[in-house]
Amino acid sequence: MDNKEFYIGWQSQAPAGFARHTRKVIFLLAIIGLAMAITLALLQKKFSTGTFEYGQLTEVKGIYQAFPVPSLRVMYGKDAMGNAVYMTLPLVGYGKAGASGVIRELEMDNGVSFDHKQVVFKGTLIYHDGKALLQIDRHDHPMVSVTEAAEEVPAVQIDLGEVQLTGEILDPKCYFGVMKPGLGKPHRDCAIRCIEGGISPVFYVYNEKGEHQYFLMLDEKGRPMNSELKNYVAEPVSLSARAVQINDWTILYVKSGSIRRTGGISIFKSDIISCRPYHN
């Protein structure tokens, strides 16, 4: 570069030496920047195959139950013994809200309690990994019909005993399809809002073989425990609970005060998070 050259921004042309240098710098920055675009795009973890059927309403017929969580028991056939078999679809409301509010409104509109009645709801399906939820939104006019259930087949219950598990507390609406990622730290605030808004929390556990398990969470007395979970959402925690399988979901009756963070300094904590035996 000519030492006599002097750059002034308001001149229409930069001196040749400055222009040459600037071209080189911009070229280099552009290459680095665009390489970063590709690198950062490729470094992202794979997003889940969860689905939120946004804008698509589906009618689902089932028996409404308020316990363990507001949900529909949908009969899909009969087993070899001739017994009806069911899939349970937990219900969620619009936005970051549980279904209780909209159910209460619909019950008042219809002048009847839905518990153990056969209802047909029109809603938006959310599903992933073999589990499904149904969003019922007042704006979608979700109530199609409510009738007495033709037959009330009691739920199959299997007591799995006391367990100690390590996993992550999720808000199922986001995890099973509405958001990606719907778990972990970036999603933590949203999960807290969803759970505080009444969406039934789910405990997610997975093992080294890639097997996943999802549990519904209630307190020891079988009541919702959303407000107690706020500080433990979306991070690895351990808990003690009594596990009871009710049809196709397992319920954790979480012992009071048993939830513990399993975090800490990463390099020291391999012994903290280990394969914990469960007692049956």
Query: Which of the residues 89 through 128 are near another protein (CB under 8 A)?
Result: 94-97, 125, 127-128
Among residues 202, 217, 243, 251, the one that binds another protein under rule CB under 8 A: 243
- The CA-atom distances, in angstroms, between 22 and each of 2, 7, 10, 33, 263 are 14, 11, 16, 16, 48
CB of 213 to another protein, least distance (A): 5
Among residues 78, 104, 141, 223, the one that binds another protein under rule CB under 8 A: 78
Q: How many residues does the chain have?
A: 280
What share of residues in the chain are helix, strand, coil (percent, to 5)? 25, 35, 40
Nearer to another protein, 107 or 197 (CB): 197
Whether the Cβ atoms of residue 74 and residue 87 lie closer than 8 Å to each other = yes
**Binding of residue 222 to another protein (CB under 8 A):** no
**Binding of residue 136 to another protein (CB under 8 A):** no
Query: Which of the residues 34 through 63 are near another protein (CB under 8 A)?
Result: 34, 36-51, 58, 60
**Binding of residue 227 to another protein (CB under 8 A):** no
Nearer to another protein, 243 or 259 (CB): 243
Span of 111-119, 140-148, 210-218, 220-228 interacting with another protein by CB under 8 A: 210-218
**Binding of residue 145 to another protein (CB under 8 A):** no
Nearer to another protein, 125 or 143 (CB): 125
Residues 227, 228, 230: CA angle, nearest 5 degrees = 75
CA distance 247 to 67: 12
Q: Which helix (H) or strand (E) holds 78?
A: strand 71-78
**Residue among 198, 196, 200, 205 at smallest CA distance from 165:** 205
